[in-house]
Structure 1
Amino acid sequence: MVAYTICRTPPQTRYLPHRYARKAIAKKNGTTLLSEPEKLDPGQERLYSFYEPSLRAGHHIITTTQDIQLGTGNQKKHLEDKQEFTVITPRYKLPVSAVHTVYPPQGHTDNVEILPHIVLNDPQLPWARVAVEKVERESRGRVPWLAMLVFRQEELHWNNPAHPEEKLSGTKTLTLTLGELGKRVASGTENFTTKIVKGDGSLMLDDEPDTALDIIYVPKQHFNSFFKDANASPGSQKKCDVSRYQWLSHTRNINTTGMANSGIDGELGVFSVVISQRVGPLDITEPTDLIVHLVSIENLWSMNYPVQKDRVALCSLESWSYTCLPANSFNIWDAFRHVGKEHDVYRIDPKIVEKTLAPEKKMDERLKTRLLDGYVMTRYRTQTGEETAAWMRGPFVPKIIDHGDTDKEISNSGQDLQIMDKVTGIMDITYSTAWQLGKALALADQGFTTALSRLSVTISRGSMDETKKSLLKSQGAFQDKSEVLGQLVESLKTLRSLHNPSGLRKGPDARWLPSSTLSMDMSRQAVHVQQQYLHHLKETTRKITRNISGDRVYDEFNNPLSPDWMIICSWVLDRMYLAGVPAHYYIPDPTYLQQETLRFFHIDRHWIDAMIDGALSIASHLPDDEDKRIELKNIINELLEQHPEGLHYPPQRPSFGFFLRSQLCIKFPDLIVEAYGSDPDVPDPTIIIRQENISEGLLLVLFDKKPGSSEFTKLILREPPHQQAFACGSHLTKDEISVPVTRIYTVPLEEQKKDKDRNFPFIHDPYPKSDPNNPMFIWDDEGVPISTLKLPAYADEVQRILVANMKENYTEDVPTATMMGIQLNHPMYFLQIDMDKTLFAGSSTENDGMLVGLKMLKPRRKNEALEAAVRSEDYVIHRPSGIDWDVPFHVQPVQGETPLPVISLPAPHIRHIPILPFPPTPASDQTLRRKSPTLFSYSIYPLRERDLINQVNKKDVKQDLIFSIHPNRDNDYWDLKRVTISIPWGKTKDSRPTLMDHYDGTGATMVSDFRFNVTTTIGTEAGDKMFFYLTILPRAASIQKMEVKNLSVILNGMLIGDYHEWHSGRWGAPKVTISVNEEYQQNNTKMEVEVVLNL
């Protein structure tokens, strides 16, 4: 089975902006980056009929001769030497990385007129081996040793009578060794022939008997048709003809700009292409599986024709299968059209939001706003252990966010980045999740963690050393190198006076006086150290992060002073491009990306900043390390504003992008994406700064321009020239074929005569099957449905039309593989999307249209103790606790601050129980009612005391109560509509026992059968009696009772009511009566069953 890479991961995420920058610098300096043999602009390609290697596979001999003149006479000596060597190329298996793409892809569908093809990474591979007896060096074509053959599954299926136990693979191949194949041929008893080995079973030159290969058994009728000489008279052909395959292989040199996979290796790519001559079956009315084989036709030129045995064994180097569709099926044009029609911003489809509600219900506006702003609800566990729900979204949002001031407070845990939505009472953990992700990504990268730790230590030591030097210098206790060198003159004078003993005497008592020393507190906690440390921290950080010359921040285009900062800088910039971020962080819900959709988004820079802050936090081991993190972020901001030398713009940073989820990304892994700026005719490749197939069928593209602005006016998606489909014509049926002839120009563009119809083909009348002189297509060959191109007549007919109509614009005198490669091209469709200025809601102003609580604000309170310490001029450390124990314990509001209103909302983990003025299941007059026996059996017990059936002990702690509900075998065909459990509620008064008088638990859930939902409500019945209702409803319209195995429910966090005022002597022991109402429907007849359960 063929294997090739659909989603290539580039070695560097930011290879596109680096490539743009290097080209701009080279252009400004007047230098070239690399001497390329050919230069192609974006959208251009150059085709070659063949790309023959200098030496083909096989044995070669190098002969050297030399004539030496001996002395001055006529005596000469002739020297000659020979050297034999072998050129090795693939023969029976292709290398793992040989295949670039195939079309149609494995398992995909396509139309009947499509000619399958394979694209190889080696441009010389199809001509690396000899396929004919004699190569005419002057010929304009070369016959390749590879051919593409297409079959139905039943055509290749063959039960070898000599080996009935053999099983063929999914693509009908059989794996043998050359030795085993040779033995079968030598036996002469098996009904097949081959040219893989010699006729007597011996191996070809240099072959090994243990070499494994995959073979297919081709029916002789098909084989004879595939290798027939169309120009030979009947009965005159004696050998197989392989010349037709010279028009089915060519080489393409393309510009890979805008391609996700091929663009990784550079802007130029050279590939070889091998095309099939056979299309799909024409008599199908439903999708049919076809098998494609890349086979070796080496040595077939010497095989006798026609083949007499039933089968011919060919070596299959690659194979895959696809599904052929009947005529008028879905095609690439429809796919492009559908994607363009369905483009929108990246969020849940508003139609899905409306479909989730009943027709008479309406979603809360705040909840709807959250969903349409790109949020999803996720499971969340609070710090105290309760499990609840939270809001979350990724960095891609459907609205433009005002980023405002770039200076944000740092976080040490990410918890302070959580935001409470006061309307819904649900926590927003978006930025907290981003912070934790950044920390996790940093810890997972050993190189980054090590570099950041080393840099942190270097900055701390350097800052502390400079601080100590500054303090000691202020006291005259330290001199640097320049000061020492400046005092050498005075030091030398002192040395000269040492010979005079009188100069060393100061008095009789001076020798006994102790020398004075300076003692100073140099710890980090010292106030005078803190005053100097922050200044030197900034200077040291700036010095380390500069280039070698020290005049600019290291920006990846100059030489760094610190190799650790080089690693950190590259890592941080990669995270801004979301390198290494797991996909579920920016695709929080799969409904955001439906099949065949294009979704645009804006990148939330706050989310990126939170992630980077979390990554830089791993080096914060001490409280003062926060200052280093702040300075590193300031350096990063300076880097983002700095223009690298030779460039007129700062480093590119993604701001917008889109996802494309489509079968187009699988059919064309190198789908070209072009963005247009101010010039509507020339694409601007610098707009796209990341383009990657992150998954099969999912393309991610990021750009730094706003869609709809003057810098980004339109977007075009187009087929890649080396992966586009090939087709026999525009329309093919069982009776005729239509072949529009593409205009081909062989002279340079500047020499071409103007042709207003250059993009329109020459239209010819359909070629009918009934015409015996039809030059284009073969429907049947001796009663066998072949459905192949009629070669070389097809090439001759196209050549005739071009010569007759193109005149001097087409100068070729013979048909070539290049001409066929262009003619067989399926029309290259492209999708143009004009960027709408109103695509994104919101604006870049302060009021950006997003929820107000999403902005990360600085704390309102200042650290007064630290500020007082910094302002102090004393060298005495005084660090007050900040708490005055003599004042009452309450928080004073900040002056000028308006207190927030108190909102009576439950905690996030508490379910809000709605209070209804009526029971949830009012009985209908046409309902049939009956008392017990019911269709379910019921019991109630606490979760931790399962032996207490229908009993609950009064406790001072909350309990989880199980309502066990299991079906009885009766009336199994009734449709269950609803089960309502009514529990007495309220204070225990007037001799009415109740189970609960309040509830603040997490609600009720189904134990096992999640096809049902359970809701909790409180309602009032006759006599103003309150009841707590558990209502079990099927998620579907109804579910038959026979399909229900366990309908049990658990009520979490239930607390028994207060019975202190219960008079046991007057009212007896409390006995709570719980009633159950079952509701069914069958044939428009409803039935209710009531049961009373005493607890």
Structure 2
Amino acid sequence: MSDNTVTFAAHRRPALEAGDYAITVTQAVAVGSATESFGTSRRFSVGGDRFALPPTAIRAVFPPDGSLGDHGNVLPHVVLDRPSLPWERDPGGGGDDRPPWLALLLFDEDEKPQPRTTTVGALTREGRLPEPATVLERHDSADDPVTVIDVPAALLTSLMPAYAELRLLAHVRGGTGPDADPDAAVVVGNRLPGAGTTSTVHLVSLEHRFRADGLGAPGLDLPHPGRGGTGGSTVPLVSLASWRFACVSADHSFPGLVRDLASDGGDLRLPDVGNATANGFLTQGLVPLRHRLRQGGRSIGWYRGPLSTGATDGGPVTPARSADALLRLHTDVGMFDVSHAAAWQLGRLLALRSTDISSSLYIWRRRRDIAAKQTVPVDYPLAVPAADTDMPEGLLTWLRALAQLDGVPLPYLLPDEKLLPAESIRFVGLDQRWIRHLVDGATSIGRLGPADAQRDADDPPPLEFPTVTGALIRSAVVPGYPGLLVDAYADPAGTRRLTPWRTARLTPDILLCLFQGELARLDLHQPPEGQHLAVEQLGDGTIGKTLRAPGGVTATPTPVGPLPLGALRTVPVAGLGAAIADALGVAPTELDSGDLALQLTETAERVTFLT
């Protein structure tokens, strides 16, 4: 495991905010007693996102979009790829220490506004935006699309952070170390999600939304009847991004879900059925399935896919000319083992399904056959140059992916749903003999006689079949935490990381993770964006927070709280910051958003399985 350091900074202000500028240069030339002045002006623009964000601008959100978990104490946040983005425009309000122009607003299911799409020109013509925000910059177009949400004025007044709190709700997260992500801006919400409901979060623009009233803190510039539209009943806000998630019980939190996996560990096999002979097959991971014979008869056969209770490989296999050659009869029970026959037939069908692959296989085989039959010495003056017998790279790439189970249908991997019950994990190995028959079936196209089979045995595809182990996971944690990371190690201490072989979501709730080598430890954890800001709910509508000791200080600060929540579960950011500053022994004005983020950040959970 590598050591990474996470850093928090209050802001990263650009040298110039986005907008239009003019620069004027003058020069005075004196000749004797005469002076003549020369000057020129140039206009330029600093382009910046204003009414929309490109998809690449958002690195991650938390809680994840569409997730289902225990998020009741979490302050939602969005990670922006450009670290200076929240400080590139002016939210208004006057003053030199401008707060961010972006904010996160969280709505309950019954509050969520309905987004509407319009154009920048139509939005300005509505007359309900602050006047400076209606002035288009040189790089703006009246036809640019924009997403707008209309929020009831009373609701917005309750949800919107105070002007002084905005500076505490955005920071820059960076890091050092081999696995550290580039610096990014993080915008944080000020409202806790409601329990047992779905929450919708909007990243909204606050450009020129605040006005200096001369009586204290700048206030929110709300529409009024004199500016047209619907008066002060609703406030149009430009929505730059949005996502949804559900907040349920602690049982659906990340550690809660993973604990459920640990409680249902086992082998990839069906349970015993009370028959000693049948149990002997079931212990090997075999499953009874309907088997239709080539002559039309019907029977029951035993089948096991490429995933077994341990990694196995019997070395190279003999090229087959039909799937029937790989049927294995268990005479004691009168049933066939169809595992390898099914693998061979599947490989052949997958190759035939692709015209490019099947044609490439046939052409390569014929070229190799011609080269094998060429008996004229290569130094003979009239000798024809030897044909290129190397397998085409595109075909090799396809076969390598096939050897990693890419394209193999789920029923071949899990022939019975009971092999992997809901909320379970199964540690598996790859049966490379099954994989070898799969590849042999794919390359059997054009194999007509014994000579072709012998040539295939002498010249197999240059593929690697290493020891591969891993895990199958079926859980709500898979769709609930889309950024789930899985690390594998060859030792319990976690010092020797295994190279990933294949990671794939087989279904929305089934994850397959395979690695090269023998698995001794498996770690499930959230990505760095899973680090989130959270408070502690103390009951009776109050919150608190256990603090970290600042750098160079060994004494742990006194926990903060209880502090009352707002009427709509809004966190009193300014009050929380002042209480944290007091506990740390600094003035409230000295506590910036980076300091607050350091104290509120909860690290991403990591759960370890030892096999």
Determine if the TM-score, normalized by the shorter chain, exceeds 0.5: yes
> Pick from 669, 685, 703: which aligns with 2:497?
685
CA distance in 2 between counterparts of 1:619 and 1:66 reads 84
| Inter-partner Cα distance in structure 1 for 2:485 and 2:512 | 12
Question: Aligned pair 1:826/2:602, yes or no?
Answer: yes
* 3-state SS of 1:789 partner: coil
The answer (yes or no) to whether the contact 2:119–2:142 under 8 Å persists in 1 is yes
Query: How many Å apart are 1:150 and its aligned residue?
Result: 1.4
The equivalent position to 2:539 in structure 1, one of 730, 733, 737, is: 733
Q: Identify the residue that residue 514 of structure 2 maps to in structure 1.
A: 702
- In structure 1, the residue matched to 2:267 is 345
Distance in 1 separating the partners of 2:394 and 2:4: 36
**Contact 2:578 2:588 (8 Å CA) reproduced:** no
Q: C-alpha displacement at 1:147, in angstroms?
A: 1.2
- Aligned-partner residue type, residue 149 of structure 1: L
Alignment partner of 1:672 is 2:485? yes
Contact preservation (8 Å) 2:548, 2:557: yes
What is the one-letter code of the residue matched to 1:218?
A: V
Q: How does 1:270-669 map to 2 (within 5 A)?
A: 270-281=183-194, 287-302=196-211, 305=219, 307=222, 309-325=232-248, 330-348=252-270, 350=271, 363-399=274-310, 401=312, 403-404=313-314, 406-445=315-354, 448-465=357-374, 467-469=375-377, 478=380, 564-620=391-447, 624-633=451-460, 636=462, 640=464, 653-669=466-482
Match of 1:313, as an amino acid? P
- 8 Å contact 1:252–1:722 — kept in the other structure? no
Report the CA distance shift for 1:438/1:120 in structure 2 as closer, same or farther (over 3 A). farther
Measure the CA separation in 2 of the matches of 1:674 and 1:291.
Answer: 32
5 Å matches for 1:745-894? 745=551, 762-764=557-559, 767-768=561-562, 777-780=563-566, 785-802=567-584, 814-835=590-611
Task: Determine if contact 1:666/1:697 at 8 Å carries over to the other structure.
Answer: yes
- The Cα offsets for residues 154-186 of structure 1, whole Å up to 9 and x where unpaired, read as 445xxxxxxxxxxxxxx5334444555555x45
Give, in angstroms, the shift of residue 409 of structure 1.
Answer: 1.2
How far the C-alpha of 1:617 sits from its partner, in A, is: 1.5
RMSD: 4.1
One-letter code of the match for 1:346?
Answer: L
Whether 2:156 is the aligned partner of 1:223: answer yes
**2:107 maps to which of 127, 151, 155:** 151
Task: Find the residue that maps to 2:569 and give its secondary structure.
Answer: strand
Amino acid at match of 1:723: G
Distance in 2 separating the partners of 1:62 and 1:410: 78
Corresponding position: 1:742 with 2:565: no
Write the letter of the residue equivalent to 2:546. Answer: P
1:114 aligns with 2:74: yes
> Please, which runs of 5 or more residues in structure 2 have no aligned partner?
214-218, 225-231
- The Cα of 1:149 is off from its aligned counterpart by 1.0
Post-superposition CA distance 1:740-792 (Å, at most 9, x none): 012343xxxxxx68x5x8xxx6452x624xxxxxxxx4524xxxx13222233
Distance 1:323 1:740 in 2: 26
Q: Name the larger-Rg structure.
A: 1
- SS in structure 2 of the partner of residue 690 of structure 1: strand
CA apart distance, 1:415: 2.0
Contact 1:576–1:654 (Cα < 8 Å) also in 2 = no
Query: Quick one: distance in 1 between partners of 2:258 and 2:473?
Result: 11
Residue 227 of structure 2 corresponds to: none
When residues 674 and 64 of structure 1 are mapped into structure 2, their CA distance, relative to the original with a 3 A threshold, is: farther
User: What is the alpha-carbon distance in structure 1 between the residues aligned to residue 333 and residue 260 of structure 2?
Assistant: 37
User: TM-score w.r.t. structure 1 length?
Assistant: 0.48
Shift of 1:276: 1.1
Distance in 2, Cα, partners of 1:582 & 1:653? 22
| Number of positions where the alignment pairs a residue of Structure 1 with one of Structure 2 | 593
* Closer, same or farther: CA 701–82 of 1 in aligned 2, 3 Å: same
Preserved CA contact (<8 Å) 2:60 2:529: no
Q: Quote how far apart the aligned CAs of 1:119 are.
A: 3.3
Q: Measure how far apart 1:454 and its partner are.
A: 4.3
Supply the AA of the counterpart residue of 1:606: R
Q: Distance in 1 between matches of 2:367 and 2:36?
A: 76
Following TM superposition, by how much is the alpha carbon of 1:99 offset from its aligned partner in structure 2, in angstroms? 5.5
Q: Secondary structure at the match of 2:436?
A: helix
Q: Give the corresponding residue for 1:984.
A: none
Shift of 1:600: 0.6
Distance 2:488 2:176 in 1: 16
Instruction: Give the Å deviation of 1:411.
Output: 0.8
- The verdict on how the C-alpha distance between 1:256 and 1:437 changes in structure 2, with shifts beyond 3 A counting, is farther
| 2:528 is the counterpart of 1:721 | yes
**Once the 2 structures are TM-superposed, how far is the Cα of residue 416 of structure 1 from its aligned partner?**
0.9
Q: What whole-Å deviation, never above 9, does each CA across 1:930-988 have from its counterpart, x for those lacking one?
A: xxxxxxxxxxxxxxxxxxxxxxxxxxxxxxxxxxxxxxxxxxxxxxxxxxxxxxxxxxx
Aligned in 2, Cα 1:616/1:101: closer, same or farther, shift over 3 Å? farther
Pairwise CA distance, 1:565 = 4.0
* Residues 309-352 of structure 1: CA deviation (Å, up to 9, x unaligned): 343222223333333347x665333223222232322233x2xx
One-letter amino acid of the structure 1 residue matched with residue 476 of structure 2? Q
How many percent of aligned residue pairs carry the same amino acid? 23
1:721 to 1:420, Cα distance in 2 relative to 1, 3 A: same
Alpha-carbon separation, structure 2, partners of 1:64 and 1:430:
82
Distance 2:328 2:342 in 1: 12
Letter in structure 2 aligned against 1:217: D
Letter in 2 for 1:629: D
What amino acid is aligned across from residue 814 of structure 1 in structure 2? E
Cα distance in 1, alignment partners of residues 212 and 382 from structure 2: 92
Whole-angstrom distance in 2 between the partners of 1:388 and 1:98: 56
Whole-angstrom CA distance in 1 between matches of 2:63 and 2:200: 12
2:228 aligns with none
SS at match of 1:112: coil
Q: CA deviation at 1:94?
A: 4.8
Corresponding letter in the other structure for 2:418: T
2-side partners of 1:678 and 1:119: how far apart?
34
Does 2:138 align with 1:249?
no
User: Aligned partners of 1:601 and 1:678: how far apart in 2?
Assistant: 17
Structure 1 residue matching 2:210: 3-state secondary structure:
helix
Matches within 5 A, 1:1008-1047: none
Going from structure 1 to structure 2, the CA distance change for 1:693 and 1:251 (only over 3 Å counts) comes to farther
Q: Give, in angstroms, the shift of residue 608 of structure 1.
A: 0.5
Given the alignment of the two structures, is residue 126 of structure 1 paired with residue 75 of structure 2, yes or no? no
Measured in 2, the distance between the counterparts of 1:453 and 1:62 equals 69
Partner Cα separation in structure 2 for residue 812 and residue 628 of structure 1: 80
Whole-angstrom distance in 2 between the partners of 1:296 and 1:623? 73
Q: Separation in 1 of the partners of 2:489 and 2:588?
A: 36
Amino acid at match of 1:742: R
- For residues 44 and 698 of structure 1, the distance between their equivalents in structure 2, rounded to whole angstroms, comes to 33
Question: AA paired with 1:130?
Answer: D
Q: In the aligned structure 1, how far is the partner of 2:608 from the partner of 2:190?
A: 33
The alpha-carbon deviation at position 436 of structure 1 amounts to 2.0
Whole-angstrom distance in 1 between the partners of 2:252 and 2:491: 36
Whose strand proportion is higher, 1 or 2?
Answer: 2
Matched letter for residue 156 of structure 2: F
